[in-house]
């Protein structure tokens, strides 16, 4: 060991850490060549699989966005359908009330008094059933929208963010949905 250190100190010129002789330059050249060959080999071997993986991942993300858009479209169609049903119920209620008024007007004084009581009872029941149906349809639509939105968010967030951020976004979304419900 002592002989080796003596030999090494003799070959290095004084005041320098290492000598730039032919052997050192050849070793540096060989190492650079090995590095270049390794970089080229790895790029050839890994470029296509990594590119394919990234392509598949982007396709998966795009398909999930497309699924989310179709789910939102379905939810919007259901909302429109429920609103149409609510309008039809209101029109039917108005039609029933008008018929009851015409019938009550044409009858005699005694029948008029009875018809007025009956019309008022029909009106009350119609309003209650319309209010109940309206409330039920709004609740169904709200629950469906919440379910679709949470499913989309859950699928997206499960891959995109960590647990803490998921919890924060979930809380914000619930608060926004509750605000939207009370404003309606």
**More confident site: 61 or 151:** 61
pLDDT at position 60 over 90: yes
Buried b (16+ CB within 10 A) or exposed e, 7-18: eeeeeeeeeeee
CB 130 within 8 A of CB 93: yes
pLDDT at position 57 over 80: yes
Give the three-state DSSP class for 16.
coil
Question: Which two three-digit tokens encode residue 97?
Answer: 């009330």
pLDDT at position 80 over 60: yes
Give the three-state DSSP class for 63.
helix
| Lowest mean pLDDT segment, chosen from 23-27, 63-67, 180-184 | 180-184
Q: What is the pLDDT of residues 93-110, one digit of tens each?
A: 888 888 888 876 777 777
HSE of 139, CA atoms in CB hemisphere, 13 A: 6
Mean pLDDT, residues 147-164 = 70
Name the pLDDT band for 5 (thresholds 50, 70, 90).
Answer: low
The CA distance from 32 to 26, in Å, is: 10
Question: Radius of gyration of the chain from Cα atoms?
Answer: 40
Question: Which two three-digit tokens encode residue 104?
Answer: 């009550």
| pTM passes above 0.75 | no
HSE of 179, CA atoms in CB hemisphere, 13 A: 6
Average pLDDT value over all residues in the chain: 80
């Amino acid at each position: 060991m002592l002989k080796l250190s003596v030999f090494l100190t003799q070959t290095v010129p004084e005041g320098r850490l290492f000598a730039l002789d032919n052997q050192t330059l050849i070793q540096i050249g060989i190492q650079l060549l090995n590095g270049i060959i390794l970089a080229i080999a790895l790029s050839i071997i890994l470029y296509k699989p990594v590119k394919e993986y990234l392509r598949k991942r982007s396709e998966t993300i795009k398909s999930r966005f497309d699924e989310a858009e179709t789910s939102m479209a379905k939810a919007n169609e259901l909302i429109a359908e429920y609103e149409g049903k609510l309008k039809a119920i209101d029109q039917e209620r108005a039609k029933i009330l008008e018929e009851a008024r015409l019938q009550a007007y044409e009858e005699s004084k005694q029948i008029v008094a009875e018809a007025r009581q009956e019309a008022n009872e029909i009106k009350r029941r119609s309003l209650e059933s319309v209010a109940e149906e309206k409330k039920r349809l709004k609740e169904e639509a709200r629950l469906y929208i919440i379910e679709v939105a949470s499913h989309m968010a859950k699928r997206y967030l499960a891959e995109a963010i960590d647990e803490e951020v998921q919890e924060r976004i979930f809380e914000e979304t619930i608060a926004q949905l509750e605000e939207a419900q009370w404003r309606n």
